[in-house]
C-alpha cells in the first residue's frame, strides 16, 4: 500500500525542532500495574517528536515538542489540563502514549456535551475492578455517565459477547471492522458527522496497532488507513476536536508508515 520509509525510527536519531504555537506533540509513558519494565518505552518516546518531524510531508510546519510525561504520577505536568488549555490557547494537543489509560487524564479536562471516538479493534469496555488497558472506557463511562462514546473498527472475533452486550446496554455506538471497509465509507462518515455534530467537545483515541496489524492467515485485518484519514480530517474540520490521543506499544508500531501518515494528516489539518 505504501512505499517503505527509508529511515526507520530510532530514539537516538533526533534533532532540535523550534517550537511553533498551535502545533504541539506530547508524549506520555503511562504505567499500569502488571505492565512490566517501562524503560524501553520511555526511551522510544523521548525522541519521537523530532523523528516524526523529519518524516512529515516536505514543507509541512513541524510539530513543536510538548510535555513528556513518564510513569503518570511523576510526569512534569498533568495531562488533565491539555484539553482545557487547548480550548483557551487555540491549540490542538496530540498525545502519543504507550497505553490507552492515559486518555482518562485528557477526558477529565472536558466539560458538558463531550464525547470520545475510539478508532480501535477493541471496545476497551471490559468490566474490571481495577483499571486495565482493556477496561479504560468502562471506567470512563462509569466516572462520566454523560460522556458519549463511539467506537470504529471493532473486531467482533476479538471481543467477548458479554462486552458487546455491555456496550449495547450503555447505548454506545460502535461499528465493526467489516462495517469500516471502504465501500461503506459514505454511511460511516455520515454517522461520524452526526455524532460529532451533537457535541461541543470530542477527543479522538486512535490505536495504531489496529492500523498496522494485517495477518490474512489468522484473519486479522488492519483498518483501512485511507478511510481512517478521512474520518480524522472530517472530525478536525468540525472544530469540535480538543485533543487527539494516539497509542502505540512499540517502535515497530510507532514508526510504521501508517502512524506517520496519520500524524501527517493531523498536522496538515490543524490550520483549517
The CATH number of the domain holding residue 81 is 3.40.800.10
Q: Evaluate whether residue 15 is within a structural domain.
A: no
> What backbone torsions phi and psi does residue 89 show, to the nearest 5 degrees?
-100, 0
Rounded to whole angstroms, how far apart are CA atoms 242 and 103?
A: 12
Is 113 buried (19+), middle (13-18) or exposed (0-12) by CB count in 10 A?
Answer: middle
Instruction: For residue 157, give its domain range.
Output: 24-268
Neighbouring C-beta atoms of residue 198, cutoff 10 Å: 12
Q: Evaluate whether residue 133 is within a structural domain.
A: yes
Rounded to whole angstroms, how far apart are CA atoms 166 and 141?
A: 12
Q: Evaluate whether residue 4 is within a structural domain.
A: no
* Domains: count for the chain: 1
Q: Evaluate whether residue 12 is within a structural domain.
A: no
Half-sphere exposure of 27 (CA within 13 A, CB side): 23
Q: To 5 degrees, how large is the angle CA 172–CA 156–CA 140?
A: 35
pLDDT tens column, 123-179: 999 999 899 889 999 999 999 999 999 999 999 988 999 999 999 999 999 999 999
Q: What is the pLDDT of residue 148?
A: 97
Which of 220, 214, 215, 267 has the alpha carbon at shortest distance from 23? 267
> Going residue by residue through the chain (272 aa), what tens digit of pLDDT does each one get?
333 333 334 443 333 333 334 568 888 888 776 666 667 777 788 889 999 999 888 877 888 888 777 665 444 456 667 666 665 666 788 999 999 998 998 898 888 899 999 999 999 999 998 998 899 999 999 999 999 999 999 999 889 999 999 999 999 999 999 999 888 999 999 999 999 999 999 999 999 999 997 666 666 789 999 999 999 999 999 999 989 999 998 888 999 999 999 999 998 765 44
Q: How far is CA 163 from the centre of its chain?
A: 21
Rounded to whole angstroms, how far apart are CA atoms 208 and 98?
A: 10
Q: Evaluate whether residue 81 is within a structural domain.
A: yes
Prediction pTM value = 0.87
Rounded to whole angstroms, how far apart are CA atoms 169 and 164?
A: 9
Amino acid at each position: 500500500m505504501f512505499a517503505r520509509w527509508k529511515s526507520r525510527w530510532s530514539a537516538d536519531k533526533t534533532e532540535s525542532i523550534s517550537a511553533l504555537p498551535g502545533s504541539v506533540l506530547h508524549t506520555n509513558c503511562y504505567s499500569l500495574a502488571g505492565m512490566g519494565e517501562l524503560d524501553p518505552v520511555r526511551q522510544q518516546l523521548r525522541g519521537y517528536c523530532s523523528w516524526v518531524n523529519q518524516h512529515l510531508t516536505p514543507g509541512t510546519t513541524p510539530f513543536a515538542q510538548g510535555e513528556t510525561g513518564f510513569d503518570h504520577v511523576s510526569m512534569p505536568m498533568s495531562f488533565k489540563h491539555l484539553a482545557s488549555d487547548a480550548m483557551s490557547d487555540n491549540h490542538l494537543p496530540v498525545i502519543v502514549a504507550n497505553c490507552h489509560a492515559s486518555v482518562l487524564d485528557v477526558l477529565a479536562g472536558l466539560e458538558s456535551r463531550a464525547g470520545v471516538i475510539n478508532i480501535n479493534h477493541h471496545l476497551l469496555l471490559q468490566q474490571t475492578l481495577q483499571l486495565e488497558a482493556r477496561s479504560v472506557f468502562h471506567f470512563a463511562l462509569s466516572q462520566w455517565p454523560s460522556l458519549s462514546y463511539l467506537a470504529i473498527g471493532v473486531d467482533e472475533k476479538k471481543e467477548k459477547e458479554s462486552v458487546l452486550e455491555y456496550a449495547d446496554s450503555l447505548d454506545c455506538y460502535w461499528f465493526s471492522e467489516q462495517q469500516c471497509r471502504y465501500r461503506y465509507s459514505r454511511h460511516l462518515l455520515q454517522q461520524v458527522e452526526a455524532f460529532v455534530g451533537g457535541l461541543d467537545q470530542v477527543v479522538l483515541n486512535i490505536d495504531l496497532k489496529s492500523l498496522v496489524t494485517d495477518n490474512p492467515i489468522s484473519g486479522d485485518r488492519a483498518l483501512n488507513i485511507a478511510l481512517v484519514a478521512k474520518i480524522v480530517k472530517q472530525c478536525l474540520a468540525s472544530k469540535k476536536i480538543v485533543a487527539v490521543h494516539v497509542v502505540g506499544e512499540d517502535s515497530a508500531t510507532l514508526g510504521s508508515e501508517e502512524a506517520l501518515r496519520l500524524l501527517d494528516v493531523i498536522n496538515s489539518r490543524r490550520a483549517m
